[in-house]
Structure 1
Amino acid sequence: MTQVTRFTGDAKPYGGGEPYADYRSAEVPFDHLVDLADRRLGAGVIAANDEFFAERENLLIPEPAVFDPEHFGHKGKIMDGWETRRRRGTGPDTPHPADDDHDWALIRLGAPGVIRGIIVDTAHFRGNYPQQISIEATTAPLSAAPEELLAPSTQWTEIVPRTPVGGHAANAFEVDLERRFTHLRLNQHPDGGIARLRVYGEVVADPKWLAALGTFDVVALENGGAAEDASDRFYSPPANTILPGRSRKMDDGWETRRRRDKGSDWVRYRLTEHAEIRAVEIDTGYYKGNSAGWAALYGQDQTSGSDEWFEILPRTRLQPDTVHRFVVEAPAATHVRLDIFPDGGIARLRLHGSLTETGAERLGGRTARL
């Protein structure tokens, strides 16, 4: 583990104005990856030992934490995060908690994967954040109950050792461990509040499940697809296009700035593995006056050692706020590139197909190694 940011100590008390004005953060090398703990992928905080002041579920809200200085309830200040009560010792002679006293929360990842980085965000917890945090990980069925995860037989691997963190800050940790995990245990020592938890990494899908499905979306995040690069991320990230379900609003897709040249925009995706694509869906949902005008899709097969792109879908006119469906015939691919002309928004991309024999063997081998 490498601590990417080192913010220690209290932040200044809130003095009015923009709450994020004195928020402490820095660039991290992994935030372009998928958030494995994204609620939209099916992640959840399934248990916590204490949530007296603020509910554990707040940890995984996709949006940044908000702060309302006037928001109080019958238990005290209501915070947008997970906050436990203050721990105490055993009596007047030992008023402070013991060194190993701590609070914990169990998190089910939305998709199993290899973790590359974690952000423990203490936004707006200025004097009531934990002194230290630690994080453990394990592999279990996604439907495992809290009592199963807490059983003595469950083996946990420490991925972030007990480390000091700062208040009102994005505390970032880089993880270098080639293991596939499904659940985390977030510990705060001895108590306090954490606003958000982000777990960045690479999805590693279950090859047996995909084999049973036969035909599935070979670019979907939950199945191990990824948006590797894009020409423009001005309004929203391209990874939104391969999230589960339909887009719910305009910023739930990928939208580029307005071009003032003669170029076009694009996204490059990595598929689950080597796959044959048989059907394509391009959804411009909620993009009405700003949808992409035309789209084309190209494939690349990196198992052959070639970097040449071949056509899967020719340049095709798109309609605003519409699901477009195409049956295609194309060679197997490991990567695809979606080109849009000249700019605009795409809500979702679906590529329905199945793994080739080569792709199934490669995915199975990687999963076994992890």
Structure 2
Amino acid sequence: MSNEKPSSAPFTELVDLASRRLGAGVVATNEDTFADAENLLVAGPAEFRPHTFGHKGQIMDGWESRRRRGVSAQQPHPTDEDHDWVIVRLGAAGVIRGVIMDTAHFTGNHPESGSVQGASVPGHPSPEEVEAAEWVDLVPRTPLQGDTAHEFEVGNEQRFTHVRLNIWPDGGVARLRVYGEVRPDPRDLDGLTFDLAAQEYGGVAEAASDRYFSSPHNLNAPGRATVMGEGWETRRRRDKANDWVQIALAGGGEALAAEVDTTHFVANAPGWADLVGYDASRGGDPHTDPDGWFEILPRTRLQPDTRHRFRLVPGRTPTHVRLNVYPDGGVARLRLTGRLTEAGRAALALRWFDSLPAAEAEAALTGAGLTAAEATALTAARPLADAAGATAAVAALRPADGPDGEQSSRRRSASWRLLGV
């Protein structure tokens, strides 16, 4: 059974944007003498091995800073504002729904309090550029306890690329989890065929019949599984039903090929599997509409420890897929190669645009050809909840029959292309 501590927070069903597996990394820290800040991002739970000493003391599986001191013999204690910090580049930019600051195994050396901030810095910024960014409070300074996974919901709808963990005055934090919804830049996906189910593009395993041995989030994680524990495995069924995982795709798309990978599952691979799809863009709900599902891949025999590749017959375009395995067992990875439909691209683009900081949204629009005034007006019209609302907002920028009508029409067309409407 998984040794991850159970959580009552609903946001933990989302993707951990700060996972090293997803590509997260430590950009900078002011202090990690005792234990490396990169330990914060390790995928598994923290481990403690007593009486394992290095030349700096007990080896801890987490981030631990040195003990702070005052400025003089007359002032030996740190001030109330003295603190340590670490900046993390998220593996994928997204809207953050919840944070866990886990002080597991730090009991006499945990921080007194902590906070988390977020920033959005596009491109590939240097550490200095990230440090100088505008930081937004996601979790205000709050007291921390030792050996405790502190869960905090976040209510900010902005898209972030980096987070900063602050601790007062010093101490150790074992793990930092940042759960949220991936919001990729649609311009990075234009014209590409890619894995529609992948976490890094916004795919998320939103429901599963069983997660006894391991998480269904492993199914669409980056890279190949290196051991059985990095896949999704169910308990042994003692009835006549079957297990399944439902994945919301990055966007509605045309599915061209599928890969069902049972690597490392030798004596516990499923016997058969099939794939079904659902198109939520037509207004239905895949959670409550059992009749709206359609076949993508018929029930097919699986082999143990094998990467199964299937070419799919072009047809209906899903926004969600469900992998059914019969009767139970483990699957390392599911890949669904395809390309976004126009509607899928538009929905993705509007979610992205609505969550950008104002300055980034305006820069994207001016880069697409709008004037600064038009970009400001369209940004102020957010949220653009649907394509109709976006079209109306774009059309209202400037009448097309004025002296600048032709140029205005071209600029509106540029913004239509950016937002996919």
TM-score by length of 1: 0.91
Which residue number corresponds to residue 8 of structure 1?
Answer: none
Given that 1:108 and 1:142 are in contact with CA atoms closer than 8 Å, whether structure 2 keeps it comes out as no
| Aligned counterpart in structure 2 of residue 206 of structure 1, from 173, 177, 185 | 185
Matching residue of 1:162 = 141
Which of 226, 229, 233 aligns to 1:255? It is 233
> Is the contact made by 1:55 and 1:82 (CA closer than 8 Å) also made in structure 2?
yes
User: Is 2:287 the counterpart of 1:309?
Assistant: no
In structure 1, C-alpha distance between the alignment counterparts of 2:117 and 2:94, rounded to whole Å: 14
Of the three residues 143, 158, 172, the one matched with 1:179 is: 158
1:328 has 2:312 as partner: yes
Deviates more, 1:195-204 or 1:299-308: 299-308
Q: Which amino acid in the other structure matches residue 312 of structure 1? A: I
- Larger helix share, 1 or 2: 2
Distance 1:108 1:176 in 2: 20
Any idea what the Cα deviations from partners look like across 1:184-235, whole Å, max 9, x if unmatched?
11111111111110111111112111115x1000000011001110111111
The residue that corresponds to 1:134 in the other structure is 115
- Specify the alignment match of 1:91 in structure 2: 72
Cα distance in 1 between the residues matched to 2:240 and 2:263: 25
Q: Distance in 2 between matches of 1:25 and 1:325?
A: 34
Q: 1:305 Cα shift? A: 2.2
1:337 counterpart SS class: strand
Q: Deviations over 1:244-283 (max 9, x none)?
A: 1111111111111111111111111101111110111111
Q: Does 1:197 align with 2:176?
A: yes
Percent identity between the two aligned chains: 57
Give the match for residue 325 of structure 2: 340
2:13 is aligned with what amino acid? Answer: H
Matches within 5 A, 1:120-131: 120-131=101-112
Give the alignment partner of residue 342 of structure 2, picking from 354, 357, 360: 357
Residues 268-299 of structure 1, C-alpha deviation per residue, up to 9 Å, x if partnerless? Answer: 11011111101111111001111011011111
Paired letter, 1:204: R
2:298 and 2:176 map into 1 onto residues whose CA distance is 41
Q: 1:160 to 1:238 in 2, by over 3 A?
A: same
**Conserved? CA contact 1:25–1:171, under 8 Å:** no
The residue type paired with residue 33 of structure 1 is L
Greater relative contact order structure (CA < 8 Å, 6+ sep):
1
Higher Cα radius of gyration: 2
Task: Quote the Cα distance in structure 2 between the aligned partners of 1:244 and 1:26.
Answer: 23
Separation in 1, partners of 2:213, 2:94: 27
Which residue identity lines up with residue 185 of structure 1 in the other structure? Answer: R
Aligned to 1:40: 21
Structure 1 residue 150: deviation in Å? 1.4
Write the letter of the residue equivalent to 1:325. Answer: R
Equivalent position amino acid for 1:224 in 2: G
1:145 CA drift (Å): 1.9
Structure 2 equivalent of residue 5 of structure 1: none
Q: Which residue of 2 aligns with 1:215?
A: 193
Q: Which residue in 1 is equivalent to 2:273?
A: 295
Displacement, 1:71? 1.1
Q: Is the CA contact 1:25–1:169 (under 8 Å) kept in the aligned structure 2?
A: no
Compute the displacement of 1:326 (Å).
Answer: 1.0
Contact 1:234–1:256 under 8 Å retained in 2 = yes
The structural deviation recorded for 1:178 is 0.6
How far is 1:141 from its partner? 3.0
Worse-superposed segment, 69-78 or 157-166 = 69-78
Please list every run of at least 4 consecutive aligned residues from structure 1 whose deviation after the TM superposition is greater than 6 angstroms. Answer: none
Aligned-partner Cα distance in 1 for 2:8–2:309: 39
The residue type paired with residue 226 of structure 1 is V
How many residue pairs get matched? 346
Q: Does 1:65 align with 2:43?
A: no
Describe the superposition over 1:49-97 as per-residue Cα deviations: whole angstroms up to 9, x where unpaired: 0111111111111111111221112222221111111111111221111
Inter-partner Cα distance in structure 2 for 1:92 and 1:36: 44
- CA deviation after TM superposition for structure 1 residue 25, in Å: 8.3
Return closer, same or farther for 1:115/1:332 CA change in 2, 3 Å cut-off: same
- d(CA) in 1 for partners of 2:124 and 2:304? 39
Aligned CA distance change for structure 1 residues 142 and 132 (closer, same or farther; 3 Å): farther
CA 83–142 in structure 1, closer or farther in 2 if over 3 Å, else same: farther
Which deviates more, 333-342 or 302-311? 302-311
